[in-house]
Structure 1
Amino acid sequence: MPGKVRQMGIKIGKLPVGPKNCMTDVAGVQVGHVTLDEPLDQDGAYACTGVTAILPHGGNLFQQKVTAASYVLNGFGKTTGLVQVNELGVIESPIMLTNTFGVPAVTQGTLSYMLDLNEDIGLITGTINLVVGECNDSYLNSIRACPVTPEHAIAAIRQASTDIVQEGAVGAGKGMMCFGYKGGIGSSSRLVKVEQQEISYTVGCLVLSNFGQSTDFLAERYNASNRQSQSTLSPTDGSILIILATDAPLSSRQLLRVIKRCGIGLGRTGSHFSHGSGDVVIGFTTAHSIPHTTDQLMETRTQLREDHPVMNQLFVAAAEATEEAILNSLSQAQTTTGRNGHTVEAYAFHKA
Structure 2
Amino acid sequence: MQSPRRVRELGVVVGTLPTGPLNAITDVPGVRVGQTTITGDGLNTGVTAVVPDGWAETLPAAIAVGNGYGKLVGSTQLDELGVIETPILLTGTLSTFRVADALLTWLLDRDPRATSLNPIVGETNDGYLSDIRRRPLTPLHVHTALDTASRELPAEGCVGAGTGTCALGFKAGIGTASRSVLAEPAHGAGSAEHTVGVLVQANFSGLLTVLGRPVPARPIDADGNSCMIVVATDLPLDSRQLGRLARRAIFAMGRVGSDYAPGSGDYAIAFTTARTPNFPDRDLRPPFQALTESVEEALLNSLTMAHTTTGHQTRTAHAVPHDRIANLSHL
Is the TM value for this pair above 0.5? yes
Poorly superposed stretches of 4+, deviation over 4 Å: none
> Take 1:30 and 1:19, find their aligned partners in 2: how far apart are those partners?
15
Q: Which residue of 1 aligns with 2:286?
A: 313
Select the structure of larger CA radius of gyration.
1
The one-letter amino acid paired with 2:36 is: V
> Take 1:92 and 1:108, find their aligned partners in 2: how far apart are those partners?
15
* Counterpart pick for 2:225 among 238, 243, 253: 238
The number of equivalent residue pairs is 319
Deviation at 1:349, TM superposition (A): 2.0
> Take 1:272 and 1:120, find their aligned partners in 2: how far apart are those partners?
46
Structure 1's unaligned 5+ residue stretches are 40-45, 289-300
> Take 1:2 and 1:137, find their aligned partners in 2: how far apart are those partners?
20
> Take 2:28 and 2:98, find their aligned partners in 1: how far apart are those partners?
29
CA RMSD of aligned residues (A): 1.6
Deviates more, 1:257-266 or 1:181-190: 257-266
Q: Which residue of 1 aligns with 2:200?
A: 207
Q: Secondary structure, in 3 states, of the residue corresponding to 1:78?
A: coil
Q: Which residue of 1 aligns with 2:8?
A: 6
> Take 1:94 and 1:208, find their aligned partners in 2: how far apart are those partners?
16
> Take 1:225 and 1:74, find their aligned partners in 2: how far apart are those partners?
25
Q: Is 1:107–1:150's contact at 8 Å kept on the other side of the alignment?
A: no
Q: Is 1:237–1:274's contact at 8 Å kept on the other side of the alignment?
A: no
Q: Is 1:179–1:212's contact at 8 Å kept on the other side of the alignment?
A: yes
**TM-score when normalising by structure 1:** 0.87
Q: Which residue of 2 aligns with 1:173?
A: 162
1:282 and 1:10, CA in 2 relative to 1: closer, same or farther beyond 3 A?
Answer: same
> Take 2:134 and 2:314, find their aligned partners in 1: how far apart are those partners?
16
Deviation at 1:208, TM superposition (A): 0.1
1:164 is aligned to 2:153: yes
> Take 1:262 and 1:173, find their aligned partners in 2: how far apart are those partners?
18
Q: Which residue of 2 aligns with 1:194?
A: 183
Identity across matched positions, percent: 41
Q: Which residue of 1 aligns with 2:19?
A: 17
**TM-score when normalising by structure 2:** 0.93
Residue by residue over 1:104-130, the C-alpha shift from the partner in whole angstroms, topping out at 9 and shown as x without a partner, is 1101110000000000112xxxx0001
Q: Which residue of 1 aligns with 2:45?
A: 49
> Take 1:219 and 1:86, find their aligned partners in 2: how far apart are those partners?
33
Q: Which residue of 2 aligns with 1:91?
A: 84
Q: Which residue of 1 aligns with 2:257?
A: 270
Deviation at 1:148, TM superposition (A): 1.4
1:335-350 to structure 2, matched below 5 A, reads: 335-350=308-323
Deviation at 1:220, TM superposition (A): 6.5
Residue by residue over 1:207-241, the C-alpha shift from the partner in whole angstroms, topping out at 9 and shown as x without a partner, is 0000114xx2224625x858xxx333242361000
